[in-house]
Structure 1
């Protein structure tokens, strides 16, 4: 009945437009373009683009590889609709469910989960793509409904291993000793102009704090006396300046200007305007830091394949760009990975990879993406055991299904300190994305309330 009602619609200019739209969505090319546009934005727009692509992967596989194989169905006869509305190349696969509808619904739903505003813009386009499959006579209405249901389910399933972006800052300790710095008087700001993909933040910093002294990362070892230390750069630069601030017991003024800004995001600072308001008001918090062999880190440290991945990525990224280089580096590392024999707090294991976070991360699987607390005085310790049968395969399956916390190959601990002894030649450790010196013994500990930081 619905198919007949659509076929009986009078000819209009929409016929040609819906044909073009339907073709544009072939192989999800339309959604890749929309994702590229969204990715030029920040925060929820970029996260929505990435979540949308992940949802498309799940929806497309479910609809095209599984659904069409299990439920073969003839497509509507071509003569049901007028010739001018028919696609020049009709698909020959099973009609049920609609793969185009699955991808469209998956992308729109995933984007809306991260950014309702962006989702409101994408949703009508997704609905038009879904209807175009009926309008052009290649799907029954029930195919479209089923495909849309698959897409919505795939989008919501991404939350199992990738929690939604959290807008609330991590909890932290109260800080009653901060003072307001008018025009940046007494503030020394360390700037790394090569961090991130945006312009050099120095002009904006000078404009906001005309009395502040701005230096480069090359001056980090010889910083002048100050009332507070500031930093504008990525997480590696932030960690280096935070270490100096913690050792001098100086508050940190954070200006996020890196690519990802994990620490700033968790602390609750999204840009210079946040920091400037806090500095003017003299308000902030104290947060935990962590150390390994005396080396401070603000986010994470890791042993195993990750330091190798960082080295390979750095070699490839000048030619291929950061994200393609990271994907290629991960693939190479997984191919060549060898387990490490180590003793972790007295227990000897074979381990593929060991991760240590400054503070408890969530989710509990091996894809830590958010940190709700920076006031627990704990380390988040995760490792994948290699002394179980088919451990690598079980790890991959658990990660794919978001069920690692139930796997015997995966361990998750929250402790105040950790001792790791590697049996064999010295290996590198990576902290906050930077590869450090090699060693065979690694002493990790949480330093509660080690750093004061200006925060609104």
Structure 2
């Protein structure tokens, strides 16, 4: 057996040297400088972080591909640099293997096997292609150039690059274990609804949040194009958004026949709550960072919203509701996506404070790390039964998958809440949760519970807490009654998206 392995390694070594000689024999061209620059640009995956930022500025599959790609880079880099290199030490090619003009000024000193650059390139491009084949295909030549540049500059053997590519592709495929690919289609609803045809947005009040999203795009022009006769309203930081909308509707002598909104999920939730309370149909232009609600509804862009309002096509969908009591004036919130108690509301509040000095995404990461480190369990009555939990997640509708990262809703008319919570009354509950999350075995873990039910009553036994709804910090309270409200909201959606 050992002699067979020795022969195999010698054969690989001879092939590596032969390929290196062929590469070294190529004539000098401007491509030498380009490949050297690419190789350096990919250090610490900087090139792929920049590509992810460009993709994240676009909505839909490209943005999801960027997020999956970043996750894949983290896994591939750890597999290649923290596991592969220590386990398989190998000398890098000698400097004289390639012409002097190709050599990098600073040669790496770590093990040659496998290539971390090739692993990160393959992981990112494969992950992006899983969400957006078009974007992934466009990046393939760049990834191939980065991988070959490591041979061209003489810092890796060809087999190092091949192994790195295999690791990257494998890690990208493994992301589906924790983050399954979902069907790119809108959620179902069996409830068609009556809504007026909104020709050019006449008698519509449209709220526009110019600060939604990550690309700095102000959706005002989209709203004016779709609904030129609509009255446009911008959030007033000095007052509650719901109060502002109610006051504007009451002041309209001619009345309002529909509400429109262009913003992220937090803005959409505020406008949706007023639409539900006043029995007005809602028109939606997605303009946020991830636009979970718009994706589930099936409104992907301004033309989708324009076509649905012009034709008067709408459906009825469920909303979630939470009533908050026990700390001052009673509070009430609708939510279109999720509500939560525990660490998440604290993270949101800290993130908003950090955003005064840091961008949104780094601020969120810092806030999450701080909250997890100092989190304390919640002693509660859960539907009258004593429990001790780290956090409670409540989804409007039943989400999938059922593990740690619920990402989409197959239907918007279930009449149920998706309740998930992490128990704190078991030994080493946080460590067990992390282990179950890494192994994707949360459904079999005793520390993680998932329920589908029409309502939920939570009473805190120690002090008061704030509830978070759709990423926004809500009222302070001691008792929280969550309910599903079937067909509470009428929303414009093209008939082509199905009932």
Name the TM-score class by shorter chain: over 0.9
Q: CA RMSD in A?
A: 2.1
Judge conservation of contact 1:7–1:135 (CA < 8 Å) in 2.
Answer: no
Please state whether the residue corresponding to 1:353 is helix, strand or coil. Answer: strand
Partner of 2:488: 450
Residue 272 (structure 2) pairs with residue 250 (structure 1): no
Q: 1:199 Cα shift?
A: 4.8
- Residue number among 15, 18, 22 corresponding to 1:4 in the alignment: 18
- Residue number among 157, 163, 171 corresponding to 2:180 in the alignment: 163
Partner of 1:36: 53
Please state whether the residue corresponding to 2:283 is helix, strand or coil. Answer: strand
Distance 2:446 2:230 in 1: 53
Residue 317 (structure 2) pairs with residue 300 (structure 1): no
Judge conservation of contact 2:20–2:157 (CA < 8 Å) in 1.
Answer: no
Deviations 1:314-369 (A, max 9, x none): 11102112111111111111111000011222332210010000011222222222
Partner of 2:420: 382
Judge conservation of contact 1:3–1:134 (CA < 8 Å) in 2.
Answer: no
Superposed, 1:411-426 pairs within 5 Å as 411-426=449-464
Which has the higher mean CA deviation after the structures are superposed, 268-277 or 234-243? 234-243
Distance 1:336 1:231 in 2: 37
Partner of 1:94: 111
Q: 1:442 Cα shift?
A: 1.2
Please state whether the residue corresponding to 1:318 is helix, strand or coil. Answer: coil
Partner of 1:241: 271
Superposed, 1:181-196 pairs within 5 Å as 181-196=198-213
Q: Structure 1: 5+ residue runs without aligned partners? A: none
Distance 1:140 1:194 in 2: 48
Label 1:74 to 1:194 Cα distance change in 2 as closer, same or farther (>3 A): closer
Distance 1:214 1:36 in 2: 30
Partner of 1:355: 393
Distance 2:34 2:268 in 1: 50
Deviations 1:117-166 (A, max 9, x none): 22112111111221222223322222211111110011111222223364
Please state whether the residue corresponding to 1:91 is helix, strand or coil. Answer: coil
Judge conservation of contact 1:366–1:382 (CA < 8 Å) in 2.
Answer: no
Distance 2:37 2:263 in 1: 44
- Residue number among 113, 116, 139 corresponding to 2:156 in the alignment: 139
Partner of 2:244: 219
Superposed, 1:277-296 pairs within 5 Å as 277-293=307-323, 294-296=332-334
Q: 1:295 Cα shift?
A: 2.4
Which has the higher mean CA deviation after the structures are superposed, 3-12 or 46-55? 3-12
Distance 1:84 1:248 in 2: 72
Distance 2:225 2:121 in 1: 45
Distance 2:287 2:166 in 1: 40
Please state whether the residue corresponding to 1:319 is helix, strand or coil. Answer: coil
Distance 1:191 1:138 in 2: 53
Label 1:203 to 1:126 Cα distance change in 2 as closer, same or farther (>3 A): closer
Distance 1:202 1:34 in 2: 27
Residue 54 (structure 2) pairs with residue 55 (structure 1): no
Deviations 1:282-307 (A, max 9, x none): 11211111111152111111000111
Residue 330 (structure 2) pairs with residue 330 (structure 1): no
Superposed, 1:77-116 pairs within 5 Å as 77-116=94-133
Q: Structure 2: 5+ residue runs without aligned partners? A: 1-14, 235-240, 324-331, 495-499
Which has the higher mean CA deviation after the structures are superposed, 130-139 or 104-113? 130-139
Q: 1:2 Cα shift?
A: 4.7
Q: 1:89 Cα shift?
A: 3.1
Q: Aligned pair count?
A: 456
Distance 1:10 1:191 in 2: 57
- Residue number among 295, 298, 301 corresponding to 1:268 in the alignment: 298
Please state whether the residue corresponding to 2:462 is helix, strand or coil. Answer: coil
Distance 1:338 1:196 in 2: 32
